[in-house]
Chains A and B, each alone.
Chain A
Amino acid sequence: AQSVSQHNHHVILSEAASLELGCNYSYGGTVNLFWYVQYPGQHLQLLLKYFSGDPLVKGIKGFEAEFIKSKFSFNLRKPSVQWSDTAEYFCAVDSSASKIIFGSGTRLSIRP
């Protein structure tokens, strides 16, 4: 069965530190990959997505993610985080047009 693993449950960083959040999925076929973000008190919203083409995907607010097919990974990165990046981040995988499976989420706390 399809699954998504986010191994970091809570990450705490200082402002200007670099960020990498891990995401691994299990599915042997073609997948679409997403990162969603939920800022405190706000709706879940799309950060970035990968369907095909360049495996390095740029998203909003300076985030990027790299799809490494051989590692079944889609890690999220940002070179320099800000206090406003404090949020919960969810990786998701879609192997069909009907449903998406989400990871358990990573809570990111940024010290000002």
Chain B
Amino acid sequence: SQTIHQWPATLVQPVGSPLSLECTVEGTSNPNLYWYRQAAGRGLQLLFYSVGIGQISSEVPQNLSASRPQDRQFILSSKKLLLSDSGFYLCAWSGGIRDNEQFFGPGTRLTVL
């Protein structure tokens, strides 16, 4: 069966520090991968999605970037964190076919101080 992992689960970082959040998927190949930010009252904001290795689409201009160095690995990064980057980050995968049900990871709570 497929599983999706995210780490770390929680992170507290100072303003201006770098960021690297990792997401890995097991039990499937060539998934579509997604990064979302979930904010109270604002739902899920799609940040990035990827349909293959090295292919990244950015949905919202911001201080973050994403990379997909391997088929089942998706990384969210920043060179210098801002206070506004605080939030709950969710990774998800889908089969990439018309039945595009998404499966979500446990999320990472990021606090920037």
| Interface positions of A (Cβ within 8 A of B) | 6, 9, 32, 34, 36, 43-46, 49, 51, 90, 92, 94, 97-105
A104 with B101: CB separation less than 8 A: no
B100 vs chain A, min Cβ distance (A): 5
| B97: nearest chain-A partner, CB-CB | A97
**Residue B112 interfacial (CB < 8 Å):** no
Contacting residue for B34 out of A49, A99, A103, CB 8 A: A99
**Residue B102 interfacial (CB < 8 Å):** yes
A104 with B106: CB separation less than 8 A: no
A90 with B96: CB separation less than 8 A: no
What residues on B are CB-neighbors of A46 within 8 Å? Answer: 101-102
Chain B's interface: helix, strand, loop or mixed, by majority? strand
Q: Determine the interface band of chain B, counting residues with CB < 8 A from chain A.
A: 20 to 34
What residues on A are CB-neighbors of B100 within 8 Å? Answer: 32, 94, 97, 100
| B45: nearest chain-A partner, CB-CB | A102
| A49: nearest chain-B partner, CB-CB | B101
A102 with B43: CB separation less than 8 A: yes
Task: Pick 16 A–B contacts, CB within 8 A, sort by A.
Answer: A6-B43, A32-B99, A44-B44, A44-B104, A49-B101, A97-B96, A97-B98, A98-B49, A98-B57, A99-B57, A100-B46, A102-B36, A102-B43, A102-B46, A105-B41, A105-B43
